[in-house]
Amino acid sequence: MRTGKNLNSNPLKAMLVFTGVVILAALAAGFRGTPASAAEQIAGAGATFPYPIYSKWADSYQKETGIGLNYQSIGSGGGIKQIKAKTVTFGATDAPLSGQELSESGLVQWPMVMGGIVPVINVEGVKPGQLVLDGSTLANIFMGKITKWNDPAIAKLNGGVSLPSTSINVVTRSDGSGTTYNFTYYLADVSSTWKSEIGVDKAVEWPVGIGAKGNEGVAQNVAGAKNSIGYVEYAYAKQNGLTYTKMINKAGKAVSPDADAFAAAAASADWSSVPGYGVILANQPGDSTWPMTAATFILMYKSPEDDAASTQALKFFKWAFEMGDTEALGLDYIPMPKSVVDSVEAMWSKEIKGANGKPLI
């Protein structure tokens, strides 16, 4: 049972799946007019990290084409399971599959958009961006080794900030999550203790805290629990008015989360260096980089069972690549570079074939 403030009134529309019934992205984004029929909806499931921008794109695309998006925001683990079970046309994950797993499953993978994972807090009197954390301190909080807000390690980074002596209430993800994968990847990179004791995965054995489902669940719990800390994709912090922290990056600079900092982290990424473009953007060098930047990925079958449905999905993704940059930037997501988009679209033509052996798009 999740606790805290009800998010039904906020811009993300609570974005939950109730009693197993799919909440259509059309409804979550506040679509107007008559919803598209079931035959005119693209079915997908997975990561909550990109849900705000997928909903925004879906709204615009439905208005332009009449084609809706039926997207279950259930976490990366759920998205991988559903695409492998062939219950959806595409899966979405922030934890990229390995080249071997893609090959064994008959899937292709590509990055759709990038964003940032940010620590969010609910500490009375502390404003967004006022508190600074570094990687080792953040790791020690989520390992339960730092338990008070006025701990010397936090105080040392925050001279002049009034910190309470209250206990820290940690909020984590309870579901299989690509956001967790990227968060733990970063913590393992900056903390040898985290790497050896906790590790990197979509789901880990958290030493402390309460679990919540999805980015929206973490946001809800942090918003409703005093003296709490959690981690969410930045759009959830921004749209819910949550207090985010600054971070000390690899260059030793205190940086705020924003589109420029996310773009700086992605600037030197070599997307062709990993099968399925599965580059991890955590802890990149550079004075202005945000240390917990991540891409989010799409999974589809090379030989889909439903050519028409897969063609519709590819048309939507092509439209998003070509027409969705402004909306992405408006939510502080980072569009993929043109060179990557060109490479991905060439890959579609080469790899995703219909029953007749010809490219779907």
Instruction: Give me the pLDDT at residue 172, please.
Output: 98
Beta bridge partners of 297: 93, 111
Residue 113 has pLDDT above 90, yes or no: yes
Instruction: Give me the pLDDT at residue 37, please.
Output: 44
**Average pLDDT of 103-121?**
98
For the chain, give every domain's residue range. 25-115+296-351, 117-269
Residue 232 has pLDDT above 80, yes or no: yes
Among 35-49, 52-66, 77-91, 315-329, the least confident range: 35-49
* pLDDT tens, residue by residue, 15-50: 333 333 333 333 333 333 333 444 479 999 999 999
**Average pLDDT of 242-263?**
96
User: 25-115+296-351 with 117-269: one CATH topology?
Assistant: yes
DSSP state of 38: G
**Average pLDDT of 309-319?**
98
Percentage of the residues of the chain whose pLDDT score is greater than 90: 87
Burial class (CB within 10 angstroms; exposed 0-12, middle 13-18, buried 19+) of 159: exposed
* Token pair of 238 as six digits: 């921004």
List, as one string, the DSSP characters of 183-204: HHHHHHHH-HHHHHHT--SSS-
What values do phi and psi take at 197, rounded to 5? -95, -35
Please state, in angstroms and as integers, the Cα–Cα distance from residue 310 to each residue in 90, 91, 93, 212, 342, following that order: 8, 12, 18, 32, 19
Instruction: Give me the pLDDT at residue 268, please.
Output: 82
CA 110 to CA 297: how far, in whole Å?
5
* pLDDT tens, residue by residue, 181-227: 999 999 999 999 999 999 999 999 999 999 999 999 999 999 999 99
Q: Do residues 62 and 109 touch, judged by C-beta distance below 8 A? A: no
Q: How confident is the model at residue 160 (pLDDT cuts 50, 70, 90)?
A: confident
Residue 9 has pLDDT above 50, yes or no: no
| Angle (nearest 5°) at CA 345 between 343 and 350 | 90
Instruction: Give me the pLDDT at residue 184, please.
Output: 98
Instruction: Give me the pLDDT at residue 40, please.
Output: 76
Instruction: Give me the pLDDT at residue 143, please.
Output: 98
Instruction: Give me the pLDDT at residue 107, please.
Output: 98
Is pLDDT larger for residue 343 or for residue 23? 343
Report the CATH superfamily, name and number, of domain 25-115+296-351.
Answer: Periplasmic binding protein-like II (3.40.190.10)
What is the average pLDDT score of the chain?
90
Name the CATH code of domain 117-269 (choices 3.40.190.10, 3.60.15.10, 3.90.1150.10, 3.40.50.720): 3.40.190.10
Q: How confident is the model at residue 95 (pLDDT cuts 50, 70, 90)?
A: very high
Burial class (CB within 10 angstroms; exposed 0-12, middle 13-18, buried 19+) of 68: buried
Q: Do residues 273 and 148 touch, judged by C-beta distance below 8 A? A: no
